[in-house]
């Protein structure tokens, strides 16, 4: 039937090719046929991925001739099944979405990292949210977070004769994470609004300075960028390291909405702040007010606190760039890759959001294995993107 062949030609060809591939796969895997030369398979059930609450199932193939069902895995190859094979529940949870009408409902919190029974530092906590499917609390992945470290102070207009705040950026050696050592000064009044003005720190250069020219991107410490008309959430982890006073801290990332936390001496608490700007904003001031639970016209004595923060993003990583090549690029066969000196910068789909990636959160193509003569690069993956660094590997004595 010439006409039939012409009209259905393309689809037919595709099907024939698909069958051929499957038949070949079968032959290669030496599965016994059904009286013919081999089974002739077609997809019966498409794969359905599991979620954290519902089992999915794998692909199921049906033989056109004998009607038997088959499944396929890399490990086992093709094998006969009686029905679609159930897949285990997914360990991955589903991030909630921000309701722009009620951004205050977006669930964010903190909890001690696995293996910790008590905190020694704000860095012992991780940021959590609630799965939309199973309602369980789970740690937000690193790719959805960017560190915010409140640093420099500029005392607001009404307090320009008194200093209210100083922040010193600290780095934890073990993790490379940042936090701020804070001192609130004793003459600060409950009504004082202190403005943390990033532009005051514009002269800070080097690796950790941020780039303001053209508003292209930032380096750590990250100030809070906004996508126009999209609520931004930040979770600060606050530790009252002061001996005596219980502290009330009110914080704002947009100058309009304040979140409040009360922290007793020694306590660690989350401070969940959200804000909104009606313009794409790469960097802007943050604001706070501070007082003691005991009251009084001023703080009365200097108060010490520690803070670190994370900005939440539902945005995706757009690209990875190598900021700095690893120190060691020449290897002998049998050595393992050393990432020392390597610095990777991730640019996000959010306006002006980017960050230096923590290498501990990256996947390396060499993944701890020893190098061979065939290795001429190492590929690093983060947030669904990849980037490579060149290396050379030579035989010992070559
Ligand atoms: Zn068959
Ligand atoms: Zn879940």
Same domain, yes or no: 193 and 342: no
| Mean pLDDT calculated for residue range 57-80 | 90
Q: What is the pLDDT of residue 50?
A: 94
| Mean pLDDT calculated for residue range 47-69 | 92
Same domain, yes or no: 356 and 335: yes
3: helix, strand or coil: helix
pLDDT category at 159 given cuts 50, 70, 90 is: low
In a domain, 60, yes or no: yes
* CA–centroid distance, residue 107 to ligand 2 (Å): 14
| Alpha-carbon separation of residue 104 from 98, 226, 258, 284 (angstroms) | 9, 17, 12, 21
Considering every ligand atom shown, identify the ligand nearest to the alpha carbon of residue 135 and give its number: 2
**Of residues 319 and 353, which shows the higher confidence score?**
319
Considering every ligand atom shown, identify the ligand nearest to the alpha carbon of residue 61 and give its number: 1
* CA–centroid distance, residue 272 to ligand 1 (Å): 60
Q: What is the pLDDT of residue 133?
A: 95
In a domain, 93, yes or no: no
Considering every ligand atom shown, identify the ligand nearest to the alpha carbon of residue 69 and give its number: 1
* CA–centroid distance, residue 129 to ligand 2 (Å): 10
Domain membership of residue 264 as a residue range: 103-312
Last residue of a domain, one of 51, 81, 111: 81
| pLDDT 10s digits, 194-212 | 888 766 544 444 444 444 4
Same domain, yes or no: 368 and 302: no
Question: CA–CA separation, 346 vs 295, rounded Å?
Answer: 45
Residue 216 has pLDDT above 50, yes or no: no
Question: CA–CA separation, 54 vs 115, rounded Å?
Answer: 29
In a domain, 167, yes or no: yes
Residue 215 has pLDDT above 50, yes or no: no
DSSP string, 126-183: EEEEE-TTT--EEEPPGGGEEEE-----B--GGGTTS--EEEEEEE-TTT--EEEEEE
Residue 38 has pLDDT above 70, yes or no: yes
Q: What is the pLDDT of residue 330?
A: 96
Same domain, yes or no: 255 and 383: no
Considering every ligand atom shown, identify the ligand nearest to the alpha carbon of residue 70 and give its number: 1
Same domain, yes or no: 70 and 10: yes
Last residue of a domain, one of 32, 47, 81: 81
Cβ < 5 A residues, ion ligand 1:
34, 39, 63, 65-66
Same domain, yes or no: 145 and 260: yes
| Alpha-carbon separation of residue 362 from 196, 222, 261, 388 (angstroms) | 32, 20, 34, 12
Q: What is the pLDDT of residue 214?
A: 36
In a domain, 90, yes or no: no
Q: Is residue 215 within 8 Å of 351, Cβ to Cβ? A: no
Please report, rounded to a whole number, the percentage of residues in the chain having pLDDT higher than 90: 61
Same domain, yes or no: 199 and 348: no
* CA–centroid distance, residue 130 to ligand 2 (Å): 8
| Mean pLDDT calculated for residue range 293-305 | 93
| pLDDT 10s digits, 186-197 | 999 999 988 887
| pLDDT 10s digits, 113-134 | 999 999 999 999 999 999 999 9
* CA–centroid distance, residue 6 to ligand 1 (Å): 29
The count of structural domains within the chain is 3
DSSP string, 366-398: STTPBP-TT--EEEEEETTEEEEEE-EEE-TT-
* CA–centroid distance, residue 30 to ligand 1 (Å): 13
Q: What is the pLDDT of residue 73?
A: 86
CATH number at residue 112: 2.60.120
Last residue of a domain, one of 17, 47, 81: 81
In a domain, 350, yes or no: yes
Same domain, yes or no: 135 and 32: no
Same domain, yes or no: 154 and 40: no
CATH number at residue 382: 2.60.40.3630
In a domain, 98, yes or no: no
In a domain, 94, yes or no: no
* CA–centroid distance, residue 346 to ligand 2 (Å): 27
CB-CB neighbours of 143 under 10 Å: 19
Same domain, yes or no: 120 and 149: yes
Same domain, yes or no: 307 and 326: no
Question: CA–CA separation, 240 vs 290, rounded Å?
Answer: 12
In a domain, 152, yes or no: yes
Answer yes or no: pTM beyond 0.85. no
| Mean pLDDT calculated for residue range 144-172 | 71
Q: What is the pLDDT of residue 39?
A: 86
Same domain, yes or no: 325 and 297: no
């Amino acid at each position: 039937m010439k006409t039939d062949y012409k009209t259905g030609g393309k689809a037919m060809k595709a099907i024939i090719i698909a069958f051929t591939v499957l038949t070949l796969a079968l032959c290669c895997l030496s599965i016994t046929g059904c009286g013919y030369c081999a089974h002739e398979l077609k997809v019966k059930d498409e794969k359905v991925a599991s979620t954290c609450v519902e089992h999915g199932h794998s692909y199921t193939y049906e033989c056109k001739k004998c009607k038997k069902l088959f499944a396929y895995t890399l490990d086992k190859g093709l094998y006969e099944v009686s029905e679609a094979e159930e897949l285990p529940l997914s360990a991955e949870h589903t991030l909630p979405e921000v309701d722009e009408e009620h951004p205050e409902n977006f669930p964010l919190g903190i909890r001690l990292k696995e293996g910790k029974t008590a905190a020694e530092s704000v860095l012992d906590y991780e940021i959590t949210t609630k799965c939309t499917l199973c309602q369980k609390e789970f740690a937000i992945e690193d790719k959805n977070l960017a560190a915010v470290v409140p640093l420099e102070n500029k005392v607001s207009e009404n307090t320009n004769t008194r200093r209210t705040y100083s922040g010193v950026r600290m780095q934890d050696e073990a993790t490379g994470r940042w936090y701020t050592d804070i001192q609130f000064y004793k003459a600060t009044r409950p009504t004082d609004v202190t403005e943390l003005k990033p532009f005051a720190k514009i002269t800070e250069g080097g690796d950790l300075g941020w780039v303001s020219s053209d508003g292209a991107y930032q380096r750590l410490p990250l100030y809070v960028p906004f996508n126009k008309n999209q609520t931004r959430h930040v979770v600060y982890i606050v530790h009252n390291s002061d001996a005596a006073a219980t502290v009330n801290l009110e914080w704002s990332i947009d100058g309009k909405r304040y979140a409040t936390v009360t922290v007793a001496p020694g306590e660690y608490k989350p401070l969940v702040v959200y804000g909104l700007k009606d313009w794409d904003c790469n960097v802007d001031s943050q604001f706070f007010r501070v007082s003691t639970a005991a009251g009084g016209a001023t703080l009365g004595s200097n108060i010490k606190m520690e803070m670190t923060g994370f900005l939440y993003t539902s945005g995706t990583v757009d690209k990875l760039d190598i900021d700095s090549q690893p120190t060691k690029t020449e290897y002998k066969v049998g050595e393992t890759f050393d990432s020392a000196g390597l610095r990777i910068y991730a640019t996000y789909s959010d306006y002006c959001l980017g960050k230096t990636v923590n290498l501990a959160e990256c996947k390396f193509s060499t993944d701890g294995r020893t190098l061979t003569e065939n290795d001429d690069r190492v590929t690093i993956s983060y947030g669904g993107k990849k980037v490579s660094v060149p290396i050379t590997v030579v035989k010992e004595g070559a």
